[in-house]
Amino acid sequence: MGVEQVNVLDGIKSAAREVLKENKAEVILGFTKGTLSNKCTPFFARTSQDINNLVWESGCNLNLAKYLLKTKKKAAIIVKGCDSRSIINLIKEKQIAREEIVIIGAYCPSTEGCPHCHYPDPVIADILISQKSEEIEKDSFNVNNENSLNKEFSTDQKIDYPDIEAFSAIPREQRKDYIYQEVSKCIRCYACRNVCPACYCKECFVEENLPGWLGKTTGIADNMIFHLTRAIHLAGRCVDCGACTRACPAGVNLSILNRKLAKDVKVYFSLETGMDLKEELALNEFRQDDPQPFLIGGGKDG
Amino acid sequence: MDDRKIIAFLCNWCSYAGADLAGISRFQYPPNLRIIRVPCSGRVDPLMIFEALKNADGVLVAGCHPGDCHYTSGNYVARRKFALVKSLLKFIGLEEERVQFDWISAAEGKDFAVTATKVANDVNKLEKWDRWGWSR
Ligand code: SF4
Ligand code: SF4
Ligand code: SF4
């Protein structure tokens, strides 16, 4: 990677040293080289020595926000766009406290793997090392509501879901066959759930057994119900980081389920998740005039 | 075709009472519905809809009209979930008629019979449902 990225890494390292030195955090969550080339592994740096091992390159493509949930210590975290959006959601869901964490942000080093990503820049950061776009808000506390409403409409051209449009356009039977085929590969190891920063339930529905909501087989039916339900649990919460797809040992790619729901949340409720600390999550609120296109007769109540 | 099974999740305070009224008033509707009484349409976890489709050919969910929820806001919460569930099921290739939603009050016995008839006729007209590949 070019000179620019080396400079970014230097910037990250010196910010991390500074944070440790000033005792603002006991541990820095970042990435280090993995055992496979081009796959970096999450890394907890506790000393200035450790910080030498940090990397910032295209293999840094898991979502580190997950590890904040397991860190009892005061932590600093190195984020790209998607990690920062997950952090916003975790703060809103009261899983982490804003004042307990230090966010070191940099432009995503791994954009080529995510063709549909619109937010490679950190959305929230205490220390910002690099960014692509000009108008980044250093802290989304500052975003005023009027602006974000206008942004909602103006970003409509920018935020598109070409893959979702394309999938919706193919014949119904083929869509179903595709999903069945994808789902039938699943071995129900739950790696996708385990890496997902939004999947932190103490007892996930898949493990509940009184009542046993979900069958334990890897037949299409049980697999379907698992994936559909997880997709719904992530509606309005998934930041499309792709960690689940990358973690899957069976090559299951169902990101279109999450992306479809993200699109619907935007169209129906004008919300985009993880962009703002103030906005409620889509399924945590309602409006009297929410659309009800699903009703028999298309919503006779208006 | 009349053996198709439809699971109907009806809220205790409105739609279940509406179904009761339909019965008392002797309004006819097809016998395909298996009614499950739930405290509120907000209780209808999407998981219950997906699970129902493992053993039934269609699902109807009905609750109080918006503004009339016994618990004030249960059906408003449900409404956002249902919009997403309906859209997701269509996206993955289910027929729109397979899973349907309606608001039916305790006074709307006639409307309950009309909705039940419509849903049963719709589902009976569809291709046989594979129950998520169960019967493939
Ligand atoms: S569902 Fe997948 S893409 Fe969405 S937040 Fe979780 S890990 Fe990321
Ligand atoms: S799949 Fe649902 S229940 Fe399980 S951890 Fe994720 S959000 Fe929680
Ligand atoms: S990681 Fe892949 S195989 Fe494992 S449960 Fe998730 S989709 Fe299934």
Q: What is the pLDDT of residues B40-82, one digit of tens each?
A: 999 999 999 999 999 999 999 999 999 989 999 999 999 999 9
Chain A residues in contact with B136 (beta carbon < 8 A): 220
Chain A residues in contact with B92 (beta carbon < 8 A): 175-176, 179, 228, 257
Residue A28: partners with Cβ closer than 8 Å, 6 or more residues away: A16, A19, A20, A44, A45, A46, A50, A51, A54, A75, A76, A77, A78, A104
Chain A: residue nearest B74 by CA? Answer: A286
A282: CA distance to ligand 2 center in Å?
16
Ligand with the closest atom to the CA of A116: 1
CB of A201 sitting under 6 A from ligand 2:
yes
Domain boundaries, chain B: 6-125
Q: Which atom of ligand 1 is nearest to the CA of A192?
A: 7
What lines the ligand 1 site, CB under 6 Å?
A 63, 195-198, 234, 238-244, 258
The 10s digit of each residue's pLDDT in A158-167 is: 557 999 999 9
Task: Determine whether the interchain pair B133/A291 forms a contact, defined as Cβ–Cβ distance below 8 Å.
Answer: no
ipTM reported for the complex, 2 dp: 0.95
Chain A residues in contact with B95 (beta carbon < 8 A): 172
Kindly report the pTM of this predicted structure.
Answer: 0.91
Assign A297 a pLDDT band (cuts: 50, 70, 90): low
Per-residue pLDDT averaged across A282-291, rounded?
A: 92
Fold entry, domain B6-125: Rossmann fold (3.40.50)
Pick the closest to residue B39 from B69, B77, B67 (CA basis): B69
Domain boundaries, chain A: 3-133, 148-299
Nearest by CB to residue B93, choosing from A172, A268, A269, is A172
A278: CA distance to ligand 3 center in Å?
33
Task: Determine whether the interchain pair B47/A176 forms a contact, defined as Cβ–Cβ distance below 8 Å.
Answer: no
A204: CA distance to ligand 2 center in Å?
5
Ligand with the closest atom to the CA of A200: 2
Residue A85: partners with Cβ closer than 8 Å, 6 or more residues away: A119, A123, A239, A241, A273, A274, A275
For the cut 80, the answer to whether the pLDDT of residue B136 exceeds it is: no
